Amino acid sequence: MSLVWETLQKLSEHFTQELDTNAGRINEPGMERFNQDGWINLVWKSPHFRRAHLDVVDSRESKGLYMMHLCIFPELHSDAPIFGFDVIAGEKKMTGAFLDYSPSINPDHIMIQDFGKVVSNLEWKRERELPDWGKQIFSEHMMAAGNVKETEEVTRVAAVARSLFSHYMMSLTLNAMAKFDTEAVRASHNRYAYYQKQNPHTPRVMKSLGLNEDDVDVFVKNVLFPEI
């Protein structure tokens, strides 16, 4: 197995184990349609976040590609940011790797500040420019890297994702007593979901991985970033 794929597979397993330890899996209605051979969708809920969704498309044998997506929405009484990690990779490189603590109702949240301090020290051989829809919702610190193929960079992407995932989970627990306007938080979460669904690259990539076009269209519209 290539270094890139092995690294991402271990990262996916880490996310799954940690979420299984700290939250409970839930069966969302209709999700069974999107658990197929080579396509895995898992959802968790805890007292600190209302939804964590891990989406993995393993098309290594058929298309030579591996895609992973993890998004975590805090509970509606929290002003904590939204966690998002996405990566698409071939055998020898990560075409794109994206990581962010995206603002909810508080763009100056201490978690976002902590995130910025960590990623500000990272240097990539090629940083990716954010599209207009992404600029509407992502933090100014967002990690967006492309053409990640050097061993050091591949290892660093995974290490940073693992570390900031752990920091995020711990910080949600520490902020568990906070109480904010749930309707304002709901609106901010829905805004995030709306703009994510404006990304034309997501369905295009998923279809290129060999997934059924109708399945992908329904998945992106109703499951990947559901509005509440």
- All structural domains of the chain, each given as residue ranges with its CATH number in brackets, are 3-224 (3.40.1500.20)
152-176 residue pLDDT tens: 899 999 999 999 999 999 999 887 6
pLDDT of residue 126: 53
Lowest mean pLDDT among 68-77, 144-153, 158-167: 144-153
pLDDT at 226 over 90: yes
Q: Residue 145's pLDDT band (boundaries 50, 70, 90)? A: confident
Q: Residue 130's pLDDT band (boundaries 50, 70, 90)? A: confident
Say what the pTM is. 0.96
List Cβ neighbours of 28 (8 Å cut-off, separation of 6 or more). Answer: 43, 223
Q: What is the mean pLDDT of residues 59-82?
A: 96
Q: Which of 210, 224, 166 is nearest to 66 (CA)?
A: 210
The span from the CA of 91 to the CA of 5, in Å, is: 6
Which residue bears the tokens 């910080």? 171
pLDDT at 14 over 90: yes
The span from the CA of 75 to the CA of 38, in Å, is: 30
Q: What is the mean pLDDT of residues 113-134?
A: 81
pLDDT of residue 188: 98
The span from the CA of 181 to the CA of 165, in Å, is: 25
pLDDT of residue 190: 98
The span from the CA of 40 to the CA of 36, in Å, is: 7
Which secondary structure element, helix H or strand E, spans residue 17, and what is its range?
helix 3-22
pLDDT of residue 176: 66
Q: What is the mean pLDDT of residues 82-110?
A: 96
pLDDT of residue 118: 93
Q: Residue 128's pLDDT band (boundaries 50, 70, 90)? A: low
